[in-house]
Structure 1
Amino acid sequence: MEQFLKCCLIRLHKIQFLVIVLGVISIGGGVECRKARKYERLEYSAINCRSHSASITEFGGVGDGKTLNTKAFQAAVNKLSQYGSDGGAQLYVPAGKWLTGSFNLTSHFTLYLHKDAVLLASQDIASWPVIEPLASYGHGRDTAGGRYISLIFGTNLTDVVVTGENATIDGQGSLWWQQFHKKKLKFTRPYLIEIMHSDNIQISNLTFLNSPSWNIHPVYSSNIIMQGITILAPVTSPNTDGINPDSCTNTRIEDSYIVSGDDCIAVKSGWDEYGIRYGMPTKQLVIRRLTCISPYSAAIALGSEMSGGIQDVRAEDIVAINTESGVRIKTAIGRGGFVKDIYVKGMTLHTMKWVFWMTGNYGSHADNKYDKNALPVIQGINYQDVVANNVSMAGRLEGISGDPFTGVCLSNVTITMAKKAKKYPWTCNDIEGTSSGVVPMPCGLLPDQGPEKVGRMCDFPAETLAIDKVVLQRCAYTMSLH
């Protein structure tokens, strides 16, 4: 009996030992598994948060800078589009270099890029789809005919967010620029982002690098917020405009830094007879806290394609360094349309060719069919609180004979001329307006109203536009990195 009990105890101890060992293995394995699975918490502000989220890696995406991910991006967007009526979806792009051609967005959708993510645009020109020219332009900007689709494209959408942690979208534009200069391109160069016929759009906290042409082009759209944007391109690169709101209503651009080979912000609304016929203006546009470097172009350009009209533009806290001009109006006979109710407050300018530049002889036309009786209306152009130094010429203000630019107002402007400045700081013809507190004294067509009018002219609108009432939500997600 005693021997039997000893055997039972030995077996019991072995079983207990085995259970303990298995338990340790099991627990150890579980801990090791949890250590292997990594998570990242994302927090950002957006017009809307999403109920569903997925990573591009779940659709076969490879961020090695060599694998082409066009099909992966489009498959991901197509899959996530099914959640549009169920709280929408977010596509997460983790750290890596993601080579891709053009892909389309969908509604109720967020494209989110990790801070170390880089989207690289494919340089295989033959693989870029070609789409129809914009109706308000008649044909492509570079060549007659079609145009290469943008890298990130969307049309007839609502509620779209493209954002990140200052991640990079690299257009690898050098090849395109070379082909453009050699006149070897069959179609107009692509942009980095183009959103058409859409509503409730946000593009934020991203760096756009070396675009083949324009960087960000919202067109025929409304309720757009663009903020925290950095745009970089060589100052000699052709037509690398920064942000081009085009026939858009209720748009907000803020807290952005742009170095480019063309206008930092170019406000547009169609070209000659095509823009007149389309008849869709850009209006209710807010631009604030912009820093621009563009030695051959403007910080903000209104036109030259403005045939659908531009109205109610409010720009404030603008800094331009080594930039050709501050806010420039570009138009011509044949443009038709209008530029009116423009308000600029608080410009700080360093090293400029012109502080104020308005021209009615910008002769680039879509074709030779334009109406020579289509004269633009330029009126209600207001500038206040401007400081500029190292300036070659204070102002070049040139309207159109028989069609003067009217209601030009300058107040509280101090311009320090460069050592080798032009002999005459102002050139004015075919304009009408007033001034107060402007140094050097402007031309006689802008008579000074006396020091008592300083701060009481060229008033910035007091009422708030609808786009400034939009408050972004705080979104948070936990993303598995495997």
Structure 2
Amino acid sequence: MLKAVSLLVVVLVVGVTIFDGVESRKTKRRIQESFDYSAISCRAHTASILDFGGVGDGATLNTGAFQQAVDHLSQYASEGGAQLVVPAGKWLTGSFNLTSHFTLYLHKDAVLLASQDIKSWPVVDPLPSYGHGRDTAGGRYISLIFGTNLTDVVVTGENGTIDGQGDLWWQQFHKKKLKYTRPYLIEIMHSDTVQISNLTFLNSPSWNVHPVYSRNVIIQGITILAPVTSPNTDGINPDSCTNTRIEDTYIVSGDDCIAVKSGWDEYGISYGMPTKQLVIRRLTCISPYSAAIALGSEMSGGIQDVRAQDITAINTESGVRIKTGVGRGGYVKDIYVKGMTLHTMKWVFWMTGNYGSHADNHYDPNALPEIKGINYRDVIAENATMAARLEGIAGDPFTGICMSNVTIGLAAKAKKYPWTCTDVAGVTGGVVPPPCQLLPAAGEGEGMCDFPAENLPIDNVELQTCSY
């Protein structure tokens, strides 16, 4: 058994060297490197996964070592918190839970490999705002890295890698052999003050990064990669979260690069927790079959005050897409998008009110979504098949649409009519090619569709430089 001893940080003239705080059964180990990183909180204590018997050979299962390490380090939550360092190596593991006032740090040559033994993955209940799993009506496999009811948790590194080894899951999904919804790479629930940064996520079984029912979340400097044909490998899905900042991300995926959500049909309406105060900036996306940013389709708890800026999408089906339908209820409003550069798109703008996909047959057919206050400005697109496909709901139009300073270069084989519009209302200014009659010109675009000038609270959160 591992015996805890005091954690020591020895500051030397030549730098900082960390001695591990845990004695293993064989010998004391030392983390030989010093390093700096940026985080919402620095920690007073540190240990290595090696101290808990971890073996980074790509074959030894380390699930127990990771959970033992987190459980042990949780004792320091009220004493300045603790950090678990994962050094270079390939660390095969199943799911493990995080704790509060805790940092998981991956070395640049560290790779977490998700276990391929599906039977070993614990099953948890569906999310209350969804009522059902996304793949099946039953429960869902827990995420690889999971945490709930946490305060002050950081998952970061020197661009270390978390590899979901998703191909096995994708095959089982396509063959309809899965009993439960596929796991995500990281899910943080019911938590406050969360940071996920400077990591590479590969081949997730399904969604990659899923903060849900949480607040004060920073996701920064991450790379997400999956085959563009992989099923439902969404990049980042902020879900019923308040005060979230996503920035400096590069995503190649088989689904939406960022999908903003807040629950599904009657379950989302009942749970009633919106996503609001969301900042997305400096996103680069490649997703030939989906959107750079999607709002919905699960948006029944509401989505409000989303600010997206400096978005680059290449070979992506659409830029910003709103997905909803009868039975969803909820709302999507006060959406601001500024500065999109798009190359090779099917649709630059896409809004649809006929998205089916219901949790079950118990949704309320009278629950109509409210879509209003959707603002786009300073958009340049090249090689687009269509400018826009805008489809509201009969008797429930999408209103307050504003587009200004938009230039769309159509592809050589573009559709004959670049705009299709039904059940929408709004204004435009300085838009080329000229939009549909439901979006009449109201000037040249100067001062239209203004991006909010004031910062959101999450914009004012500054990271510290942590040294070990």
Matched, 1:234 2:234: no
Q: CA deviation at 1:455?
A: 2.5
1:114-193 counterparts in 2 under 5 A?
Answer: 114-193=107-186
Question: What corresponds to 2:15 in structure 1?
Answer: none
Question: What corresponds to 1:407 in structure 2?
Answer: 400
Question: What corresponds to 2:46 in structure 1?
Answer: 53
Q: CA deviation at 1:37?
A: 6.8
In 2: Cα distance, 1:376 partner to 1:216 partner: 26
Q: 2:307 corresponds to which letter in structure 1?
A: R
Q: 1:380 corresponds to which letter in structure 2?
A: G
Question: What corresponds to 1:456 in structure 2?
Answer: 447
* TM-score relative to the length of structure 2: 0.94
Matched, 1:111 2:88: no
User: Mind listing any 5+ residue stretches in structure 2 that lack a counterpart?
Assistant: 1-28
Q: CA deviation at 1:114?
A: 0.3
Q: 1:151 corresponds to which letter in structure 2?
A: L
In 2: Cα distance, 1:365 partner to 1:37 partner: 53
Q: Of residues 323, 331, 336 in structure 2, which corresponds to 1:338?
A: 331
Q: CA deviation at 1:425?
A: 0.2
Q: CA deviation at 1:42?
A: 1.3
Q: CA deviation at 1:338?
A: 0.1
For residues 45-78 of structure 1, what are the alpha-carbon distances to aligned partners after superposition, in whole Å with 9 as ceiling and x for unaligned?
Answer: 0000000000000000000000000000000000
Q: Of residues 41, 45, 57 in structure 2, which corresponds to 1:64?
A: 57
For residues 82-141 of structure 1, what are the alpha-carbon distances to aligned partners after superposition, in whole Å with 9 as ceiling and x for unaligned?
Answer: 000000000000000000000000000000000000000000000000000000001100
For residues 255-282 of structure 1, what are the alpha-carbon distances to aligned partners after superposition, in whole Å with 9 as ceiling and x for unaligned?
Answer: 0000000000000000000000000000
Q: 1:474 corresponds to which letter in structure 2?
A: T
Structure 1 counterpart SS, 2:440 = coil
Structure 2 counterpart SS, 1:41 = coil
Q: 1:460 corresponds to which letter in structure 2?
A: F
* TM-score relative to the length of structure 1: 0.91
For residues 311-362 of structure 1, what are the alpha-carbon distances to aligned partners after superposition, in whole Å with 9 as ceiling and x for unaligned?
Answer: 0000000000000000000000000000000000000000000000000000
Structure 2 counterpart SS, 1:277 = helix
Q: CA deviation at 1:449?
A: 1.2
Larger helix share, 1 or 2: 1
Q: Of residues 447, 457, 465 in structure 1, which corresponds to 2:456?
A: 465
Question: What corresponds to 1:24 in structure 2?
Answer: none
* Equivalent residues of 2:31, 2:48 under 8 A apart: no
Question: What corresponds to 2:10 in structure 1?
Answer: none
For residues 238-261 of structure 1, what are the alpha-carbon distances to aligned partners after superposition, in whole Å with 9 as ceiling and x for unaligned?
Answer: 000000000000000000000000
Structure 2 counterpart SS, 1:72 = helix
In 1: Cα distance, 2:434 partner to 2:33 partner: 59
Q: Of residues 238, 254, 257 in structure 1, which corresponds to 2:250?
A: 257
Q: 1:248 corresponds to which letter in structure 2?
A: C
For residues 177-212 of structure 1, what are the alpha-carbon distances to aligned partners after superposition, in whole Å with 9 as ceiling and x for unaligned?
Answer: 000000000000000000000000000000000000
Matched, 1:321 2:314: yes
Question: What corresponds to 1:292 in structure 2?
Answer: 285
Structure 2 counterpart SS, 1:374 = coil
In 2: Cα distance, 1:40 partner to 1:128 partner: 34
User: Mind listing any 5+ residue stretches in structure 1 that lack a counterpart?
Assistant: 1-35, 478-482
Larger-gyration structure (1/2):
1
Question: What corresponds to 1:267 in structure 2?
Answer: 260
Q: CA deviation at 1:39?
A: 1.9
Question: What corresponds to 1:201 in structure 2?
Answer: 194
In 1: Cα distance, 2:309 partner to 2:381 partner: 15
Structure 2 counterpart SS, 1:90 = strand
Question: What corresponds to 1:80 in structure 2?
Answer: 73
For residues 444-468 of structure 1, what are the alpha-carbon distances to aligned partners after superposition, in whole Å with 9 as ceiling and x for unaligned?
Answer: 00000122xx231000001100000
Q: Of residues 87, 100, 108 in structure 2, which corresponds to 1:94?
A: 87
Q: 1:334 corresponds to which letter in structure 2?
A: G
Q: 1:250 corresponds to which letter in structure 2?
A: N
Q: Of residues 358, 368, 388 in structure 2, which corresponds to 1:365?
A: 358
In 2: Cα distance, 1:353 partner to 1:447 partner: 23
Q: CA deviation at 1:38?
A: 6.8
Q: 1:319 corresponds to which letter in structure 2?
A: T
RMSD of equivalent CA atoms: 0.8
Aligned residues: 440
In 2: Cα distance, 1:227 partner to 1:271 partner: 27
In 2: Cα distance, 1:442 partner to 1:304 partner: 25
Matched, 1:474 2:465: yes
